[in-house]
Structure 1
Amino acid sequence: ELQTKLAESEAKLASVTEAAITEQEEAEKKIASLSNEIEETKQASKVSTAQASTLEEELSKLRQELEKQSIEFRTKLEEEIAKVKAEQESTSMSSGEKIESIIPPETPPAATVEDGDASSEKFSTPAANEDDEDDGDWGDDGWGSDDDL
């Protein structure tokens, strides 16, 4: 009976040992697989870092080029503006005028003409003819009419 139990125990031990060896082999395979994956990730990271560095360098070069072009454009624009101003000054000097500024002079209030007669020009201002009474002050004829004189 002891021999039978011993044989059963040895069989169980062999079975458990085999299962343990199988589990260990599977664990080693998983470890190897994960190690490979880690290594691949490290390599990909190195490549990605290198690509990022390359892209940063390219971006920096493009920014410098853009700044350079912007300065060149600004310089050319200023030169063209100076040429145009010089041409305007020489043109106006030859015709006896001098350009003081680009801002046009103030224009007088809008003139109104009654009955097409140029001698009856009047300047209208918003509050000058507001009272609508025939009291002889500013009257209905508008500001600056002959009967106000």
Structure 2
Amino acid sequence: MAIGMLIIGGIGFAGSAVLAVPAWRAAHGGGRAGTFTLTEAMSCDRNPPPRQRCGWFGDFTGDDGTVVRRHYELAEGLPPGSKVGDTVAARDTGSLTQIYRAGDTQAWKAPAGSLAAFASALVLGLLLLAPWSWRLRRQPRQADRV
């Protein structure tokens, strides 16, 4: 069980860190400003339009017109009533999967929660495995030497 916790915790921690850094930068005004054009809704809730909330894929274009990232996910979704073709102010912080809404100061919270959970699993796995005690286990005791 300890080895499983180490593996899951280590891989999850690394993956969460890759997602948390760009989210932190976006929440603090980092990255490149531009616009995000909605191209495809995904995972919508059960409410009928216009109250329906969806996640969105779309294309990001920098304010200078040079940066174009196609088919990225918009982090944290949009308000009800959004539709294909709408544009929103956004930030590209170098994430491999997501573009962040401009002014979204809460974008870092979900990745930080995942990072903390996987870090906890990693630490718990280390505590259960107790590698610092292996050396003591291998050394013969005084009574065994006589």
TM superposition score category, shorter chain reference: under 0.3
Q: Which has the larger radius of gyration?
A: 1
Higher RCO structure (Cα 8 Å, ≥6 apart): 2
Hey, which of these two has a bigger chunk of helix by percent?
1
Hey, which of these two has a bigger chunk of strand by percent?
2
